Amino acid sequence: MLSKESKMRVLENFYTLDYTFFGKPISEMDTCCPVLKEEYISVKGALLSVYIEMLKMINHSPKPITEKVDKKGLMSLARETARFGRRTAQKLIRTEQAKQDVKAEVKEALQENKKAKISEITTSKIREKAFRLAVDNVLVARAITESSDFSALNDIEGQIVESAYKVLRDGLCEAAILLLDGND
């Protein structure tokens, strides 16, 4: 069972993900294709479901909430957390490891489509990597800092949860990018 504080963190992150990708809640997004919006929301729900399982496994125990949190306060927290996640991702995307990861992804994409433009693929892969890093910082890194024991992630069940998280995170990033590209 999650604590009240953990449940609040999940709710905060529900909105944080939107601010991370779009700078505003998904409900305020105008899109040409409502199906993309529905897919994004579905994948976000699935990701947060796996995230809840992860929080249970790692004994998530954030600081107790002493003040009353209303929707306005929750949205403010979500915006600030998203800014932090994006800033951290910007720093991490400039690291040598991230550059090597992007380079490998570009090579793989070029092998799949020899006629693709390198500059477009590179831009796309950098964006995808930055979004994945931002989501990981907002959800996983923060949860680990607020947990007492995250060794459960090393056992077989933890590895399954981690794999599911990565698949859903990637799917969420792809859905967000499709929504953003559809609004250009």
Tell me how crowded residue 59 is: count the other CB atoms within 10 A of its CB.
15
Is the pLDDT confidence value at 63 over 90? no
Q: Which amino acid would we find at residue 61?
A: S
Task: Tell the residue number behind the tokens 């907002």, with chain if given.
Answer: 138
Tokens of 75: 């949205």
pLDDT at 182: 77
- For the stretch 72-104, pLDDT in tens is 999 999 999 999 999 999 999 999 999 999 999
Residue 18: pLDDT band by 50, 70, 90 thresholds? Answer: very high
pLDDT at 148: 83
- For the stretch 104-114, pLDDT in tens is 999 998 888 88
pLDDT at 131: 96
The Cα–Cα gap between 60 and 183 comes to 37
